[in-house]
Chain A
Amino acid sequence: MKYIDEFNDPDLARRLLDEIRATVTRPWALMEVCGGQTHSIIRHGIDQLLPEQVELIHGPGCPVCVTPLDVIDKALEIAARPDVIFCSFGDMLRVPGTDRDLFRVKGEGGDVRVVYSPLDALELARRNPDGQVVFFAIGFETTAPANAMAVHQARRLGLDNFSLLVSHVRVPPAIEAIMTAPACRVQGFLAAGHVCSVMGTAEYPDLAEKHRVPVVVTGFEPLDILEGIRRAVHQLERGEHRVENAYPRAVRDQGNPAALRMLEEVFEVTDRNWRGIGRIPASGWRLADAFRAYDAEHRFDVSGIRTEEPAVCRAGEVLQGLIKPTECEAFGKACTPRTPLGATMVSSEGACAAYYLYRRMTGGPDRQGSRIPREEMNPVG
């Protein structure tokens, strides 16, 4: 496939790795913001190929991981209603609320459906005029234009049986929160390429300047990720902190103007809770007043649901890059992908799940000396 195969070339990857090795002279901690990048890094084993000095911290850019518990509880309550067809992207079905997940609601008779696109949910609303169709509108800036279009179309077509349960989050406020957190270790960011395909790069120069960190807009194929790392390390070694676009084939500085106009019309900025992290000001979107009638929280009167997140694990610190997963006392003991204590262990893109797999194989001490208990290294039987 054009634009994928070329950017997987092992020879060019080796050249990029050699260049990174030749450039780096001391330890640097980079955060890849996006869960898709984490996935690619683990899938291709990129973290194992980098020189020791380059540490990748997996960021909070997995929408499934950060969707707050109270929103999931609302989704579960709505999905269990007999008059509702509840539509979701597939990876949300597994994420647990307080005492169950969407799979369980489906198993108990709820009409829960996986859709590929929010427009598929809209089509279901058209074909089921007597039922209520609710779409679970999660995601970052990349996904928001699609969900905005769905509700915009619903209003245009007069599909009053369609609504959105909105939990959109935005990247720049999360970067701001990470950088202002005490003991922040992140020295450079690989910004999420597809977020920037929509939003452009205008939000980043201020962040780079204020916190004196390089921000490199980075793609998702192995060569893209290595190039993002190469440029970030290059800047750090030279004491620079600029915004660079290492994914120019898919990112224009001005973003996508048509998508930005739609976002402007349909959504407005709001504070959001991030699962495991807490409230980040101005870090999300909700439906603007003109579209409030399509807000499932109001339509189904679930806005009263409040869920405290009990203190059990340290996923928040992992999501902030403050500790490595292996430094959590529960890691690999009480907390495994099959018995997750935290969101970072739930999703396959989550930092803890990624670490669990890799460390379990190597079995040895990681760079900071943590060790995985024997029984987890030997999961026979």
Chain B
Amino acid sequence: MCLAVPGKVVSIDQRADPLTGLIDFGGVQKQACLEYLPDIRVGEYVIVHVGFALQRLDEESARASLELFEQLGLLEEEFGDAWEQAARQESGSEAR
């Protein structure tokens, strides 16, 4: 339903009403309304939908997600056997 893409806040026009900023989508730049993230700062990443920044992207969470995926892989390599891995999951022990 909702095509929204991450972009980096390049500049903020504090005088604009509604609050507006320039967002960089990897070399493509477009103005977006920042009114729903009033304390956003230049350099932060936001998720943009139909010209509106809807949420700040949290770097720490993104890193944690990717690390979790990496660990899944490590488990796989460490134990090889999928059954053993499933059993380990089943017993509730988190990946390290």
Q: Within 8 Å by CB, do A and B touch in the complex?
A: yes
Contacts of B70 in A (CB 8 A): 12, 15
Tell me, in angstroms, the Cα distance from A296 to B2 when the chains sit together: 24
Q: How far is the CB of A204 from chain B (nearest CB, A)?
A: 16
Contacts of B4 in A (CB 8 A): 142, 194, 197, 220
Tell me, in angstroms, the Cα distance from A250 to B65 when the chains sit together: 12
A18 at the interface (CB under 8 A from B): yes
Chain B residues 13 to 30 lying within 8 A of chain A, measured CB to CB, are: 18, 25-26
Q: A11-B73, A117-B51, A146-B50 are in contact. Are A22 and B45 (CB under 8 A)?
A: no
Tell me, in angstroms, the Cα distance from A197 to B70 when the chains sit together: 25
Contacts of A143 in B (CB 8 A): 1-2, 49-50
Q: How far is the CB of A15 from chain B (nearest CB, A)?
A: 4
Contacts of B69 in A (CB 8 A): 12, 15-16, 223, 227
Contacts of A117 in B (CB 8 A): 33, 50-52
Contact of B37 among A7, A23, A153, A258 (CB under 8 A): A258
Contacts of A63 in B (CB 8 A): 1
Contact in complex: A140, B57 (CB < 8 Å): no
Tell me, in angstroms, the Cα distance from A334 to B28 when the chains sit together: 42
Contact of A249 among B3, B61, B75 (CB under 8 A): B61
Contacts of A238 in B (CB 8 A): 90
Question: Can you name the residue of chain A whose Cβ is closest to the Cβ of B46?
Answer: A250
Contacts of A251 in B (CB 8 A): 55
Contact in complex: B52, A18 (CB < 8 Å): no
Q: How far is the CB of A251 from chain B (nearest CB, A)?
A: 7
Question: Can you name the residue of chain B whose Cβ is closest to the Cβ of A234?
Answer: B89
Contact in complex: A197, B47 (CB < 8 Å): yes
Q: How far is the CB of A68 from chain B (nearest CB, A)?
A: 16
Contacts of B73 in A (CB 8 A): 11-12, 14-15, 18
Contact in complex: B8, A2 (CB < 8 Å): yes
Q: How far is the CB of A350 from chain B (nearest CB, A)?
A: 12
Question: Can you name the residue of chain A whose Cβ is closest to the Cβ of B60?
Answer: A249
Contact in complex: A258, B57 (CB < 8 Å): no
Question: Can you name the residue of chain A whose Cβ is closest to the Cβ of B77?
Answer: A15
Chain B residues 31 to 67 lying within 8 A of chain A, measured CB to CB, are: 33, 35-38, 45, 47, 49-52, 54-55, 57-59, 61-62, 64-66
Tell me, in angstroms, the Cα distance from A36 to B18 when the chains sit together: 28
A264 at the interface (CB under 8 A from B): no
Per DSSP, chain A at the interface is helix
Q: How far is the CB of B72 from chain A (nearest CB, A)?
A: 5
- The bracket for how many chain B residues form the interface is 35 or more
Contact in complex: A12, B66 (CB < 8 Å): yes
Contact in complex: B18, A142 (CB < 8 Å): no
Contact of A149 among B52, B64, B68, B86 (CB under 8 A): B52
Question: Can you name the residue of chain A whose Cβ is closest to the Cβ of B66?
Answer: A6
Contact in complex: A256, B54 (CB < 8 Å): yes
Q: Which of A19, A23, A149, A251 has the most CB of B within 10 A?
A: A19
Tell me, in angstroms, the Cα distance from A245 to B76 when the chains sit together: 24
Provide the A120-144 mask, 1 if CB < 8 A to any CB of B, else 0.
1000000000000000000110110
Provide the A242-275 mask, 1 if CB < 8 A to any CB of B, else 0.
0000101111100010110010000000000000
Write the residues of chain A forming the contact surface with B, with a CB cutoff of 8 angstroms. Answer: 1-4, 6-7, 11-12, 14-16, 18-19, 21-23, 33-36, 61-63, 89, 116-120, 139-140, 142-143, 145-146, 149, 153, 192, 194-195, 197-198, 220, 223, 227, 234, 238, 246, 248-252, 256, 258-259, 262
**Between-chain CB contacts (< 8 Å), 15 pairs:** A2-B6, A2-B45, A11-B73, A35-B1, A62-B1, A89-B50, A143-B50, A146-B51, A146-B52, A149-B35, A198-B54, A223-B66, A234-B89, A258-B35, A258-B36
Beyond A62-B1, A248-B58, list 20 extra A-B contacts (CB 8 Å).
A12-B66, A12-B70, A12-B73, A16-B69, A18-B76, A19-B72, A19-B76, A22-B82, A22-B89, A34-B2, A36-B3, A117-B51, A143-B1, A145-B52, A195-B1, A220-B4, A249-B57, A250-B58, A258-B35, A258-B37
